[in-house]
């Protein structure tokens, strides 16, 4: 059995791309017609496909990913990011495009899990702080944002603003050390087998 080591993530210092839309669903992040691949790679090519390109494949100049001045490893997004379909391809697409963190005032549950399972950090901040981040990036697209996973803080040094964010202690260990959930579960096989034995005569298990 091979132990899977993932990329370790401890600190992100980067400019950000501001996407003000609320309720961004995973069908927008990666439309279903691009889910036909059987590997995890390459989905970044079609990220936000129908917002980024017109039907003839020409870039739509007003969409923020097509603005030449915006770049970076952090996506700033409106409330309720990642709602809808459970497709993990959405997290893969964001990672593949080069994002290491998504910052929003609210995330949909399944997306949040999927992101954490791919070392893509979902950073939930207060709505007020999110507005400060949007304002700082709109004022100066070169604004650097610092996300410290260990300290659980997100800050903008040039603006002297900072906020703490939550991350589950288990997931924090995984992300900082590149640990993998499946390896953890496989280490618990004796417990799982014991559980199965105990419940042998239980009808919810049949």
Partner 1 sequence: MKKTPRTLFEKIWDQHIVFQKDDYPAVLYIDAHLIHEVTSPQAFNGLKNRGINVFRTHRTWATMDHNVPTIDQDKPIQEEMSRKQVAMLQKNCDEFGISLYGLGHPNQGIVHIIGPELGITKPGMTIVCGDSHTSTHGAFGTISFGIGTSEVEQVLASQSILQYKPKTMNIKIDGKLGKGVTSKDIILYIIAKISTAGGTGHFVEYSGSAINNLSMEARMTICNMSIEMGARGGMIAPDEITFAYIKGRPFAPKGKEWEKALAYWKTLKSDKDAIYDKELFIDATDIEPMITYGTNPAMGMKITETIPTENDMENENQRHNFRDAMEYMGLQGGKPLLGQKVDYVFLGSCTNSRIEDYRSIAKIVKGKKKPEGLTVFVVPGSAHIVKQIEKEGLDRIFIDAGFEMRSAGCSACLGMNDDKIPPGKYCISTSNRNFQGRQGPGARTFLASPITAAATAITGRVSDVRDFIK
Q: Which residues bind partner 1 (CB under 8 A)?
A: 1-2, 4, 20-23, 25, 27-28, 31-33, 35-40, 50, 55, 78-80, 83-89, 91, 106, 108-110, 113-114, 117-118, 168-170, 181-182, 184-186, 188-189, 191-192, 195-196, 199, 202-206
Alpha-helix runs per DSSP H in 44-168: 49-52, 89-97, 109-116, 127-139
Q: How far is the CB of 176 from partner 1 (least distance, A)?
A: 14
Query: Is 172 in contact with 149 (CB distance < 8 Å)?
Result: yes
User: Closer to partner 1 at the Cβ: 160 or 187?
Assistant: 187
User: Closer to partner 1 at the Cβ: 160 or 204?
Assistant: 204
Q: How far is the CB of 70 from partner 1 (least distance, A)?
A: 18
Q: How far is the CB of 4 from partner 1 (least distance, A)?
A: 7
User: Closer to partner 1 at the Cβ: 33 or 160?
Assistant: 33
Residues 6+ apart with CB under 8 A from 50: 28, 31
User: Closer to partner 1 at the Cβ: 80 or 143?
Assistant: 80
Q: What is the Cα–Cα distance from 26 to 37, expressed in whole angstroms?
A: 17
User: Closer to partner 1 at the Cβ: 6 or 141?
Assistant: 6
Q: How far is the CB of 160 from partner 1 (least distance, A)?
A: 26
Half-sphere exposure of 100 (CA within 13 A, CB side): 20
∠ Cα 123 126 127 (to 5°): 115
Q: Pull the structure tokens for residue 177.
A: 């050390």
Collapsed DSSP state (helix, strand, coil) of residue 21: coil
Q: What is the Cα–Cα distance from 33 to 29, expressed in whole angstroms?
A: 12
Q: How far is the CB of 206 from partner 1 (least distance, A)?
A: 6
Q: How far is the CB of 109 from partner 1 (least distance, A)?
A: 6
User: Closer to partner 1 at the Cβ: 73 or 88?
Assistant: 88
| CA separation, residue 25 to residues 45, 150, 167, 180, 189 (Å) | 18, 29, 22, 26, 36
């Amino acid at each position: 059995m091979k132990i899977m080591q993932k990329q370790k993530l401890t600190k992100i210092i980067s400019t950000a791309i501001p996407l003000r839309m609320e309720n961004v669903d995973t069908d927008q992040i990666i439309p279903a017609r691009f889910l036909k691949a059987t590997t995890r790679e390459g989905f970044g090519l079609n990220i936000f496909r129908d917002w980024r390109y017109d039907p003839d494949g020409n870039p739509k100049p007003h969409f923020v990913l097509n603005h030449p001045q915006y770049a970076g490893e952090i996506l700033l997004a409106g409330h309720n990011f990642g709602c809808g379909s459970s497709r993990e391809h959405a997290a893969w697409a964001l990672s593949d495009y080069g994002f290491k963190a998504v910052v929003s005032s609210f995330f949909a549950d399944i997306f949040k899990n999927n992101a954490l399972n791919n070392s893509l950090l979902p950073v939930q901040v207060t709505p007020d702080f999110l507005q400060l981040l949007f304002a700082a990036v709109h004022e100066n697209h070169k604004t650097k944002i610092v996300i410290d996973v260990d300290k659980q803080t997100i800050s903008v040094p040039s603006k002297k603003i900072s906020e703490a964010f939550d991350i589950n202690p288990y997931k924090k260990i995984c992300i900082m050390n590149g640990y993998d959930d499946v390896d953890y579960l496989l280490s618990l096989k004796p417990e799982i087998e014991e559980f199965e034995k105990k419940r042998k005569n239980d009808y919810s298990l049949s």
